[in-house]
Structure 1
Amino acid sequence: MTQFEVQVDQYKADGNKAVCFKLVRSTKDLTNPEIDFHPDMCHQVFGDSETIFGYKNLSIKIYFAACSLTIYLAVEYAEKINKAISGGVEADDIMAALTKDLIPPGYLTNIDQFASRVSSDNEFKPFGVLKQAYTTEDDGRHFEIYQPTMDTPGFREFHSRLQIFLIFFVDAASFIDADDDRWSFLVLYEKFKDDSGEWRHAVAGYMTAYRYYAYPDRVRPRISQFIVLPPYQRRGHGCRLLEAFYSESLADPAVLDITVEDPVDTFQRLRDFVDCRRLLFEAPELFANPVALANGFTETMATVARERLRLNKRQARRCYEILWLRCTNRSDPSAWRNYRLTVKSRLNQPFRKSGRELAKAAAALESDELQAVLGDLSRQQRIGHLAEAFDQLVSDYGQVLDRLASVAITAGARNGAVAENGAAEACPVDCR
Structure 2
Amino acid sequence: MAEGSNSNGYHIEDDSEMLVYKKSALSVTTFKIVYNHDDLGGSKKTLHFNPFMAHQVFGENESIFGYRSLSITIYYLHSSSRCYVDVQKSGKLKSNTLKVDDIMQSLDSWLPTGYTTELKQFEEAVKNEKHDVMFGEVLMDFKDKLECKLFPYKNVHSNYKISLCDVNDAEFQEYHKRFETFIVWFIDGASYIDLSDERWMLFYVYEEFMHPEKKEIYRTPIGYCSVYKFLAYPDKVRARISQFFIMPSHHRRGIGSKLYNVVVDKLRSLPEVIDITVEEPTNVFQKIRDFSDCQKVMQELKDNDIDLVATDIKKIFSHMKKFKIGKKQCQRLYDILRCYHASRMSIMEYSKYVRNIRKRISADIEKEYRGSKRVCNLNWTAIPVERLADRESLVESEFKDYMDSIEPSVKSMQQNLAGSR
Write the letter of the residue equivalent to 2:285.
F
Helix, strand or coil at the partner of 1:282: helix
Check the 8 A contact 1:223/1:258 in 2, yes or no.
Answer: yes
Check the 8 A contact 1:193/1:199 in 2, yes or no.
Answer: yes
- Flag the 1:9–1:349 CA change in 2: closer, same or farther, 3 A: same
1:388-427 equivalences in 2 (<5 Å): 388-389=400-401, 391-393=403-405, 395-405=407-417
2:184 alignment counterpart: 167
2:335 alignment counterpart: 321
- Flag the 1:155–1:104 CA change in 2: closer, same or farther, 3 A: same
Q: 1:129 aligns with which of 137, 143, 146?
A: 137
Alignment of 1:29 onto 2:76: no
1:137-148 equivalences in 2 (<5 Å): 137-139=145-147, 140-148=157-165
Q: Distance in 2 between matches of 1:252 and 1:94?
A: 46
Which runs of 5 or more residues in structure 1 are unaligned? 361-373, 410-432
Write the letter of the residue equivalent to 2:35.
R
- Flag the 1:63–1:359 CA change in 2: closer, same or farther, 3 A: closer
Alignment of 1:204 onto 2:215: no
1:348-359 equivalences in 2 (<5 Å): 348=362, 350-356=364-370
Alignment of 1:182 onto 2:199: yes
Write the letter of the residue equivalent to 2:268.
L
1:6-85 equivalences in 2 (<5 Å): 6-30=16-40, 31-33=42-44, 35-83=47-95
Check the 8 A contact 2:230/2:238 in 1, yes or no.
Answer: yes
Percent identity of the aligned residues? 29
Q: CA RMSD in A?
A: 2.8
Check the 8 A contact 1:58/1:78 in 2, yes or no.
Answer: yes
1:304 CA drift (Å):
2.0
Q: 2:317 aligns with which of 299, 302, 306?
A: 302
2:97 alignment counterpart: 88
Q: Distance in 1 between matches of 2:249 and 2:180?
A: 16
Q: Distance in 2 between matches of 1:405 and 1:358?
A: 44
- Flag the 1:406–1:192 CA change in 2: closer, same or farther, 3 A: farther
- Flag the 1:358–1:222 CA change in 2: closer, same or farther, 3 A: closer
Check the 8 A contact 2:82/2:112 in 1, yes or no.
Answer: no
1:345 CA drift (Å):
3.4
Structure of greater relative contact order (alpha carbons < 8 Å, 6+ residues apart): 1
Residue deviations 1:192-235 (CA, integer Å, cap 9, x gap): 12331111211110010000112332111100000110000111
Q: Distance in 1 between matches of 2:414 and 2:202?
A: 31
> TM-score, normalising length from structure 2?
0.84
1:413 alignment counterpart: none
Check the 8 A contact 1:12/1:55 in 2, yes or no.
Answer: yes
Aligned length: 388
2:282 alignment counterpart: 264
Which runs of 5 or more residues in structure 2 are unaligned? 3-12, 148-156, 375-385
Check the 8 A contact 1:273/1:403 in 2, yes or no.
Answer: no
Check the 8 A contact 2:224/2:245 in 1, yes or no.
Answer: yes
Q: 2:354 aligns with which of 333, 340, 347?
A: 340
1:219 alignment counterpart: 237
> TM-score, normalising length from structure 1?
0.82
Q: Distance in 1 between matches of 2:110 and 2:417?
A: 42
Residue deviations 1:124-152 (CA, integer Å, cap 9, x gap): 51122222111123444201112213321
